[in-house]
Amino acid sequence: MLAYGLLALGLSAVLAMVTWGVVSEYLTQQREQAAKLVTEESTTALRYGLFGVPDPCRPAREQAECPEPTMQKGVDPMAVLNSLPSTDAAASMLYVDEHWYALTGKPSDLPPDIIQSALNGTSVQRRIDFNGQPVLAVGVPLGAGTRGDAFFEWHPLSSLDDTLRTLKITLIAAAVATTLIGLAVGRLASTVALRPLAELAGVADAVARGKLDARLPAENDKDLGGLARSFNQTAADLERRVAADARFAGDVSHELRTPLMTMLNSMQLIQNHSDELPPAVREPVELLGDDLDRFRRLVIDLLEISRDDGGDRGSREIVRIADLVRAAADAAAGREVTEVEHEAEGLTLQADKRRLERVVANLVENAEDHAGGCKGVGVRTGGLGVVITVDDAGPGIAVEDRARIFERFGRGETSGRGRGVGLGLAIVARHVQWHHGTIRVTERPGGGARFVIELPAKTS
């Protein structure tokens, strides 16, 4: 676009300068020639009125020198000057028999060198300023002999300057308009040329965000057809691989549920009779119980991830966000931790109730297990519609870790303790995205981390 704009600017500037040079010179020459012609015609009329012949030299053209013209008796130079036909001249002055006669203007306003040149028998013209206005002063001798008689006029140049000013403004405006058109054409051309690449970038971004069924429609494009087909094939293979992995994880998780429930029930029975166990056995039993609980959470998370990867579309229903968050958060923390803003009590959302409950429960459990406990859960209006915050009492999350903790099996510096396996926050991010919301991590005022969820809600 910039290249098109600069090219249009350069061409229009060159064209404008050439046009200005040619047209301004032509108009100036035309105006000067017209002024000189008018003055010469007036001079011819003066010669006839003063000397009786249009040209004092005409009767003696064959002689070596022109005879000195003689003014006719009884002729009033002022009357002859008044009898001249009307022209656009702003001033007319006559010098004859060593006297000045003027209809308008003053001889003192004429530059001395113009007067001297005309009296010496040489026609002269020059642009001068009179009372701040540009005029063209023209001096023409009355005869070709030694007699010093001359006629002077000056012609206004305001109309010529106005015309040239209008031409200049028009050329500048045309150059600007041409540059803007060049920018527009460049943008259009670049958009058309880069549209396939923009589509490729958009589809690649969609695949990176988990939409594995995104495909490029440009397989028949003569320039990008090969790239589009290769990309679509790669995306299809990736989708099949992810689906196969999801099915495998789901099948394994389902197969593990039965023996896991048996082990958990057996462990619960053993823990119920822990007082009857020898002291040396109690600690291994407690460690085994913790690992079994961690194993249970891993299986549940794997089932959740595999269900999501497998294309489970879920079911949407209208839920009251405040009630759902309050129930899920308080149950996960084992105490009341939820505070709902009064304006947010009536907010509703088309949501998958199971997914949204899992989001809140995972964040609260994450705070309880890894960050010193949940300091509170808030629900308020704002953002996309409703904002849900979960605060913890931990040391906070480093800026460089705030994106990585939402990856599968991603862990922060403090995640080595507790029962987490690195899937809880990945599930949270997937479920929030499923609801067309956003999630981010910030610092909690007073220390700790704050998870902020924005969901598109509306008032019921």
- pLDDT, tens digit, for every residue of 288-327? 877 777 777 777 776 666 666 655 666 788 899 999 999 9
pLDDT tens-place string over residues 426-435: 888 888 888 8
Mean pLDDT score, 8-33: 89
Beta strands at 449-455 and 347-351: parallel, antiparallel or unpaired: unpaired
Mean pLDDT score, 402-409: 76
Helix (H, G, I), strand (E, B) or coil at 25: helix
> Could you give the count of Cα atoms lying within 13 Å of 241 in the half-sphere of its Cβ?
6
pLDDT tens-place string over residues 216-240: 776 677 767 777 788 888 888 887 8
pLDDT higher than 50, residue 344: yes
* Tokens of residue 339, six digits: 């505070």
pLDDT higher than 70, residue 146: no
Residue whose C-alpha is closest to residue 256's, from 312, 314, 297:
297
Mean pLDDT score, 264-293: 78
**CA–CA dist 201, 221 (Å, integer):** 16
Kindly report which listed range (43-47, 55-59, 399-403, 447-451) carries the lowest average pLDDT score: 55-59
Mean pLDDT score, 87-92: 79
pLDDT higher than 90, residue 140: no
Entry pTM: 0.47
Measured CA to CA in angstroms, residue 444 lies from 114, 157, 374, 376, 450 at distances of 90, 77, 12, 11, 5
